[in-house]
Amino acid sequence: MYRAVAIIAMLALLCAAAALMLWRRGTHTRERALTERFVDRQVQAPRPQHAPRPVASAPATAAPNGIGAGIARGRAAFANLMHRAGIERPRALAGTTLGIAACAGLWCALRAGPVIGAGVAALVLAAVYAWLAWRAQKRQQRIVRQLPPFLDGIVRMIVIGHSVPAAFQAALASAEAPLSECLQRALPMLRTGAEIDHALGAVARMYRVRELELVGSVLRVSVKYGGRSDVMLDRMAAMMRDLEQASRELVALSTETRLSSWVLGLLPILLGAMVIVTNPAYFDAMWSDALGKRLVYVAVALQMLGAWLLYRLARLRT
C-alpha cells in the first residue's frame, strides 16, 4: 500500500517539475520572439545572418565525435548554465546535488524498491535544474533591465568627447552586477584584438541575451564607419525600455490565464493525494484490482496529457 502511495506521489512531483520546466522554457522562448519582432519593426531591415552558434570552446585535442565530444558538450553546457545562474562554486554545488540525490535514492530504494529510488534521485536532480534555470532567467531579466542605463552612460561619455571604446570602458566601470559580470567577460577578448561585436556576440550567446548582439553591432558600425553613435545608442535605449514595458504589460494581462492553468493542472494531483492520505483503504481496493490498476495508469497518462495541453493553451504565442 505504502509503495503504491509513494509511486503516485513520485509521479505527481515529476509532473509538477516537468510542468515548471516547460513553463520556464516557454517564457524564455516568448521573450526571445518578442525581442526579435520588436527589433524588426524598429530597424525595418533584415537581420544579419550570424554564424552557427558554437557549442563550446573545446581544446584542439578533444575528440571530434563520439563519447569525447558528448562529454565536452555536456561540460560546456554545465559551465554556461552555472555562469548564467551566477554560481561561484559550481563543482561544490554539483557534488552536493549528486550526493543528496544518491543518498535519497539509496534510502528510498532500500525501503520501497529500486524504481522508487531512481525516481526520487531523478526528482532531486530535476528540482535543482529547475532552480538553476529560474535563477538564470532572473539574472537574464536583470541584465536586460540594466542595459538602457548602461547605454545612457555610454551616450553621456560620447557627448562629452570620449571615443566609443573609451566610453564603453568608462560606462562599464560604473555598471552594476550582473551586467558588469557579464560584460567583464568581453574585456579579455577586446584586449587580445577581437572586434567589439564579436566579443559581445560571444557573451550574448553565453548568457542568452540577444540585445547584447545588437549593441555590439551598433558599436562596431560606429567604430568602423563613424556617424552619430550617441543618437543610435539613445534610440536603442528607448527601444529597450519600450520593449520592457510592453513585456510587463503582456505578462500582467496573461496572469489570470497562466494562474488558471496552474490551478487546473495541480487540482487533480492534490485531490488524488488527499484521497490517498485521508482514506487509504479506498485506494488500496483499487490498486489491488487489475482493472483498478489500469485505471490509475490511464489517469496518470491523462493528467500528463492535460498538463501538456494546458501549457500549450497558456503559452503566449507571438
Take residue 86 and report the three cell numbers written for it. 551566477
- What is the pLDDT confidence band of residue 49, given thresholds at 50, 70 and 90? very low
Please compute the mean of the pLDDT values over residues 103-123 and round it to a whole number: 80
Please compute the mean of the pLDDT values over residues 183-191 and round it to a whole number: 82
* Residue 60 confidence (pLDDT) above 60: no
- What is the pLDDT confidence band of residue 277, given thresholds at 50, 70 and 90? confident
Residue 227 DSSP one-character state = S
What is the pTM (predicted TM-score) of this model? 0.63
Closest CA to 195 of 167, 224, 166, 168: 224
* Residue 54 confidence (pLDDT) above 50: no
- What is the pLDDT confidence band of residue 36, given thresholds at 50, 70 and 90? low
For 285-311, letters b (16+ CB in 10 Å) and e give eebeeeeeeeebeeebeebbeebeebb
* Residue 53 confidence (pLDDT) above 50: no
C-alpha distances in Å from residue 66, one per residue of 71, 78, 274, 293: 9, 19, 48, 42
- For residues 38 and 264, what is the distance between their CA atoms, to the nearest angstrom? 33
- What is the pLDDT confidence band of residue 318, given thresholds at 50, 70 and 90? very low
* Residue 48 confidence (pLDDT) above 80: no
* Residue 70 confidence (pLDDT) above 60: yes
Choice between 131 and 318, residue whose per-residue pLDDT is larger? 131
Residue 161 DSSP one-character state = T
- For residues 187 and 39, what is the distance between their CA atoms, to the nearest angstrom? 26
Helices in 86-209 by DSSP H: which ranges?
90-112, 114-159, 164-173, 179-184, 187-191, 196-207
Of the candidate ranges 6-20, 221-235, 272-286, the one whose mean pLDDT is the lowest: 6-20
Say how many C-beta atoms besides its own lie within 10 A of residue 151's C-beta: 23
Predicted pLDDT at 61: 43
Predicted pLDDT at 180: 85
Predicted pLDDT at 198: 84
Predicted pLDDT at 293: 84
Predicted pLDDT at 28: 63
C-alpha distances in Å from residue 109, one per residue of 29, 124, 297: 38, 14, 22
DSSP assignment of 238-278 equals HHHHHHHHHHHHHHHHTHHHHHHHHHHHHHHHHHHHHHHHH
